[in-house]
């Protein structure tokens, strides 16, 4: 399927992130983000005829899409839930484009969000710890995604010699980016490699500052047909290429823990977009942990397999640098408001391609590579977004 230039992101809405939910519900925040995204797109409810909703990780009601549609004044001809963990938002972008290309809808509102207080998240037990089939995992005490990614980092160190300092560099550069993003939870709090390495070991070899912090917030965006997007107040951000692959659920069932399905999804996305990693101006990739970024850069083809650690050490990943990565701070510094964490990578690419990123604007940003990653490197969606169709 060729979706190149068939749809564009033309509106974004961002609520939070907030360190504590403070009485806000996930649904309230998602609705507000949806309202902001439609206003940003210059669209009124009758013009929005598609709705994609991300499931809630905590206390999800059923028939979420119709409930959201009713609140938002929508009567969509296309409505669905997209359930790909952290890859949900990226998965929504190409699903919306496919729906538009098929004629099922002309403007699709995509909603993600979560309300969770970090303390409650840990004391109540992590729902993610019960990834199916829990019968064969829970007796051994896995720590949700934390232990899965720790085991990736351990194996990566074994196969390629990737060091703690190299992983820490990812967190440090992204924190510098967050210091140029007032919305980021860790805005104004730069860190050093030493501080990362001195933070407590949680799951060897990962330290506290290498691990994403769950928080609250919501992100919405509108994907529309090019003629709808061009009639809005902002330059459209076109979908040029995509790739998706789901290979496993349990880390023990990954074909490899050091080579991810991104090898496939990125290749697909670049082929469909007709460009290569060398053409990319902004890399906005899922970063639930430091190691995630290193594996992603390798598998997407920005460097050779096994050289990700060296690559992040030798490049400046900040918005001022020679290889800008996660200029909003990444989820490591922005926070992870549930599935809106994955959406943060999508909307940062939109801000950058529209030249609305303010202090952290990457110069002459024409093409962005976005990666959504769910589970333990199991659900993968690559996107190439650009200014021109």
Partner 1 sequence: MTSETPSRPLPRPTAISAPFWRAAAQGKLLLQRCRRCSSFIYYPRPFCPTCLSDDLEWKEASGRGTVYTYTVVRRAATPAFADKVPYVLAIVELEEGPRMLTNIVGCPPEEVSVGMPVRATFEKYSDEVGLVFFRPDEEAGNG
Residues interacting with partner 1, by CB under 8 A? 125-126, 129, 133, 135-144, 147, 150-152, 154-155, 158, 200-206, 250-253, 257
DSSP conformation class of 194: H
Question: Is the CB of 22 or the CB of 200 nearer to partner 1?
Answer: 200
CA neighbor of 341 nearest in space, from 87, 155, 152, 148: 87
Supply the minimum distance, in Å, between the C-beta of residue 260 and partner 1.
Answer: 14
Question: Is the CB of 228 or the CB of 257 nearer to partner 1?
Answer: 257
Supply the minimum distance, in Å, between the C-beta of residue 243 and partner 1.
Answer: 23
Question: Is the CB of 37 or the CB of 151 nearer to partner 1?
Answer: 151
Question: Is the CB of 144 or the CB of 335 nearer to partner 1?
Answer: 144
DSSP conformation class of 143: -
Supply the minimum distance, in Å, between the C-beta of residue 28 and partner 1.
Answer: 29
- Give CA–CA dist 236/224, Å, rounded: 9
- Give CA–CA dist 387/92, Å, rounded: 19
What does residue 284 show for φ and ψ, rounded to 5 degrees? Answer: -125, 85
Question: Is the CB of 159 or the CB of 279 nearer to partner 1?
Answer: 159
Question: Is the CB of 72 or the CB of 206 nearer to partner 1?
Answer: 206
318 Cβ partners below 8 Å, 6+ apart?
173, 176, 177, 324, 327
- Give CA–CA dist 122/213, Å, rounded: 11
| C-beta atoms surrounding 57 within 10 Å | 18
Supply the minimum distance, in Å, between the C-beta of residue 79 and partner 1.
Answer: 32
- The runs of H, that is alpha helices, within the chain are 26-41, 64-72, 88-102, 118-123, 144-160, 164-178, 193-198, 226-230, 262-273, 290-299, 308-314, 330-334, 340-353
Residue 3 belongs to what H/E stretch? none
Question: Is the CB of 98 or the CB of 202 nearer to partner 1?
Answer: 202
Widest Cα–Cα separation across the chain: 56
Question: Is the CB of 78 or the CB of 160 nearer to partner 1?
Answer: 160
102 Cβ partners below 8 Å, 6+ apart?
none
Supply the minimum distance, in Å, between the C-beta of residue 125 and partner 1.
Answer: 5
Could you please report the per-residue DSSP string of 289-347? BHHHHHHHHHHTTSS-TT-HHHHHHHS--STTSSS-B-TT-HHHHH-B-TTHHHHHHHH
Supply the minimum distance, in Å, between the C-beta of residue 298 and partner 1.
Answer: 17
Supply the minimum distance, in Å, between the C-beta of residue 163 and partner 1.
Answer: 15
Q: Which residue has the tokens 């529209």?
A: 354
Supply the minimum distance, in Å, between the C-beta of residue 284 and partner 1.
Answer: 28
- Give CA–CA dist 26/60, Å, rounded: 9
Supply the minimum distance, in Å, between the C-beta of residue 171 and partner 1.
Answer: 18
- Give CA–CA dist 224/110, Å, rounded: 11
Six token digits for residue 377: 């490197």
Question: Is the CB of 66 or the CB of 249 nearer to partner 1?
Answer: 249
Question: Is the CB of 89 or the CB of 152 nearer to partner 1?
Answer: 152
Supply the minimum distance, in Å, between the C-beta of residue 208 and partner 1.
Answer: 9
């Amino acid at each position: 399927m060729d979706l190149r230039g068939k749809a564009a992101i033309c509106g974004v809405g961002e609520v939070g992130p907030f360190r504590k939910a403070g009485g806000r519900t996930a649904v309230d925040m998602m609705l507000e983000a949806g309202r902001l995204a439609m206003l940003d797109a210059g669209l009124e409810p009758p013009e929005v005829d598609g709705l994609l909703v991300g499931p809630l990780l905590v206390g999800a009601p059923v028939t979420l899409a119709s409930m959201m549609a009713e609140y938002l004044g929508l009567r969509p001809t296309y409505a669905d839930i997209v359930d790909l963990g952290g890859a949900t938002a990226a998965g929504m972008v190409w699903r919306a484009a496919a729906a538009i290309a098929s004629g099922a809808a002309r403007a699709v509102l995509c909603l993600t969000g979560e309300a969770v207080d970090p303390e409650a998240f840990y004391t109540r037990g992590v729902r993610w710890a019960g990834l199916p089939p829990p019968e064969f995992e829970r007796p051994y005490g896995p720590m949700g995604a934390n232990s899965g990614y720790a085991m990736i980092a351990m194996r990566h160190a074994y196969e390629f010699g990737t060091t703690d300092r190299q992983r820490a560099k990812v967190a440090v550069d992204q924190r510098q980016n967050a210091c140029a993003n007032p919305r980021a939870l860790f805005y104004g709090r730069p860190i050093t490699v030493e501080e990362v390495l001195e933070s407590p070991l949680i799951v060897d070899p990962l330290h506290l500052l290498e691990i994403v912090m769950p928080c609250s917030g919501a992100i919405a965006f509108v994907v529309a047909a090019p003629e709808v997007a061009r009639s809005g107040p902002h330059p459209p951000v076109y979908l040029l290429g995509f790739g998706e692959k789901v290979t496993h659920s349990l880390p023990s069932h990954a074909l490899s823990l050091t080579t991810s399905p991104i090898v496939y999804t990125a290749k697909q996305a670049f082929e469909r977009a007709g460009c290569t990693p060398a053409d990319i101006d902004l890399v906005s990739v899922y970063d639930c942990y430091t190691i995630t970024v290193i594996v992603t850069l390798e598998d997407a083809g920005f460097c050779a397999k096994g050289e990700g650690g060296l690559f992040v050490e030798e490049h400046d990943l900040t918005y001022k640098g020679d290889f800008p990565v996660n200029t909003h701070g990444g989820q490591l510094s922005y926070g992870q408001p549930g599935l809106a964490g994955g959406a943060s990578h999508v909307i940062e690419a939109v801000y950058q391609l529209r030249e609305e990123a303010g202090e952290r604007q990457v110069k002459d940003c024409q093409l962005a590579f976005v990666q959504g990653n769910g589970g333990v490197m199991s659900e993968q969606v690559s996107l190439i977004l650009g200014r021109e169709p």
